[in-house]
Chains A and B, each alone.
Chain A
C-alpha cells in the first residue's frame, strides 16, 4: 500500500505570493490533517478534513486555507506569504474514526524569501 504522498518536497516563494501544497492520503483513508513545523513553535495543528468537510481548525490566520476532494486528496493554500510562513508542512491521513492511528507524509519544506 502506498504511503502518504506530499508534493512538492521543496518550494521557494517570495513574500506576498501564494502557494498550494498537495497531500494524497493512503488509499481508503478519509481523514487528512495538516500541520506546520517550525524551530520556534514546533508542530502546530492547522486543520483537519473528513469526507470533504473541515471538522476542526487550529489557531492560524485566514491566509491559511484548505480543502479536500471527493477522492480524499487534500490541498492547503497560503496566500500573501510572509517570511514567518517558512516551515515544514506535514499532512497525515487516517481512516477518520476516533483514535485512528495517523500516517504522516514526508512534508513540504517551504522557504519564503
Chain B
C-alpha cells in the first residue's frame, strides 16, 4: 500500500499570496490526483497528472516522478480558495482500483 505525506496540515494566508502545498509518496505510481473539498463534504478533482506540470486558471500542479513528490500552487489566492486540498495516489500503484490519500491541507485565505 502506498503511503502519502502532505504538508503543511494547516495554512492561513492573506488574499493575493502565492500558496504551495506539498505531497510525497512511497511507491512508484502511474498518476497522482489533487482534490479539493469544501465544507459540507463534496470533493472535486482538480488535477490528475503523471509527469511534468498542469495549469488550470490560477492553479498549477507539478510532479517529479523520480523524487516521488508533487506540489500544488495557487497564484493570487482568493478567499474562495479556502478549502481542504488532498493529494491522492492509486491504492495499489497501478492506477485503476481506488485511491489512498494524504491527510489534507486545510487552507484559509483571509481577505
Residues in chain A within 8 A of chain B (CB atoms) = 31, 33, 35, 37, 42-45, 47-48, 50, 55-56, 58-59, 88, 90, 92, 96-104, 106-107, 109
Contacts and interface: CB of A to CB of B under 8 A. Distances in A.
Nearest to B86: A43
Contacts of B43: 90, 92, 104
B45 A48 contact: no
6 contacts: A43-B86, A99-B96, A102-B33, A104-B35, A104-B44, A106-B41
B71 interface: no
Interface of A is mostly: strand
Closest 6 CB pairs of A and B: A56-B97, A104-B43, A48-B98, A43-B101, A98-B95, A99-B31
Interface size class of B (residues with CB under 8 A): 20 to 34
Interface of B is mostly: loop
Nearest to A48: B98
Given A88-B41, A99-B50, 11 more contacts: A45-B98, A45-B100, A47-B98, A55-B96, A56-B92, A92-B43, A100-B96, A102-B45, A103-B45, A104-B42, A104-B44
B26 interface: no
Contacts of A35: 99, 101
B8 interface: no
B65 to A, nearest CB: 13
B97 to A, nearest CB: 4
B12 interface: no
Contacts of A102: 33, 45, 99
B42 A98 contact: no
Contacts of A103: 45
Nearest to A95: B96
Nearest to B50: A99
Contacts of B45: 101-104
A56 B86 contact: no
B50 to A, nearest CB: 6
Contacts of A101: 33, 45, 48
B103 interface: yes
